[in-house]
Amino acid sequence: MALTKVTSNVLNDDAVTTSKIVNANVTSSKLAAASVTSTKVGTEFTTATALTPAATIDVSYTAAQVFTLTPNANTTLNITNPVIGVTKAIVVTGAGGSYTVGFTVGGSAGTFNKISGDYSDTAAAKNFIQITCVGATEFWYTISQIA
């Protein structure tokens, strides 16, 4: 018995379903232009999460896009699961206690390059921290407040 090549014109429209496609065969070249929307990207790009105040707080790059915090002590934000090229936003509301905010990565010092701005712990002051991962343990960040 001779084998016949299967071509698209002999397949029923509903013959190829998602369950029949090997994951490795779904590549970016197979995606239609502009087909990836915010509903299709991970929660690390579309959610906000409140951080629980503590002296050291783990901030997972894969957990959310925006993090919020009102500190109750001097605080070290410990970056975990960093992703090179990704920027996160951390909104820290001042507590009025002269607290400070610093950074570590994976529990170690890392390199944190401040571009501009200073943290204000004035009561109710909103500090917008944008932090970008540029290497496995290197970050650039800015701090700004509402004008």
Q: Tell me the pLDDT band of 5, cut-offs 50, 70 and 90.
A: confident
DSSP assignment of the chain, as one string? -------GGGS-TTSS-GGGS-GGG--GGGSPTT---TTTS-GGGT-EEEPPP-SEEEEETTT-SEEEE--SS-EEEEEES--TT-EEEEEEE--SS---EEEEETTB--EEEEEE-----STT-EEEEEEEEEETTEEEEEEEE--
Q: Are strands 138-145 and 111-116 parallel, antiparallel or unpaired?
A: parallel
On whether the CB atoms of residues 95 and 69 are closer than 8 A, the answer is: no
CA 72-78-81 angle, 5° bins: 140
pLDDT greater than 80 at residue 16: no
In tens, the pLDDT along 26-63 reads 888 888 888 888 888 888 999 999 999 999 999 999 99
Strand partners, 135: 138
pLDDT tens-digit readout, 58-104: 999 999 999 999 999 999 999 999 999 999 999 999 999 999 999 99
